[in-house]
Amino acid sequence: MKSATGSHTGTGTWLVQRAAAVVLALVLPLLLLRFLAAPPLDFAAWLTLLAPLWQRLLMLLAAGALALHAWVGVRDILMDYAHSTGLRLALYLAVIVTLTASVAWLAAILFGPTFGRTA
């Protein structure tokens, strides 16, 4: 008998994780080179480094990709090891809230009043 959710349910999440990995593989070296070229040692250096809009968008893209990549990995671990449905759903919720809040917090920092000017 087939599952009520249909077959190939993991293909979409597998693709999300691989796409996030590709984004991270492309973006993180660029960010690393940018940081190494002018290491931000004080607040003024951070302001200068993150002044261009493209730099802030790249950081937010990397954070979003990292959150998606982490979500798929943690979800798979919880599916394997958290056998109680209630516990698994509570842990899912905790992970989703934590990852979403982290990316939202970064967005608030990058596009808030301090960095929220156009370059």
Confirm whether 115 is domain-assigned. no
Query: What is the structure's pLDDT at 46?
Result: 87
Confirm whether 2 is domain-assigned. no
Confirm whether 4 is domain-assigned. no
CATH number of residue 52's parent domain: 1.20.1300.10
Instruction: From 88, 63, 93, select the one nearest 77 (Cα to Cα).
Output: 88
Q: For 53-94, how does the pLDDT look when each residue is reduced to its tens digit (9 = 90+)?
A: 999 999 999 999 999 999 999 999 999 999 999 999 999 999
Query: How many domains is the chain partitioned into structurally?
Result: 1
Given a cut of 90, whether residue 8 has pLDDT beyond it is no
Rounded Cα–Cα distance for residues 31 and 13 (Å)? 26
The parent domain of residue 18 ranges over: 9-110
Confirm whether 1 is domain-assigned. no
Given a cut of 80, whether residue 104 has pLDDT beyond it is yes
Q: Name the band, by pLDDT with cuts 50, 70 and 90, for residue 6.
A: very low
Confirm whether 117 is domain-assigned. no
Name the DSSP letter for residue 2: -
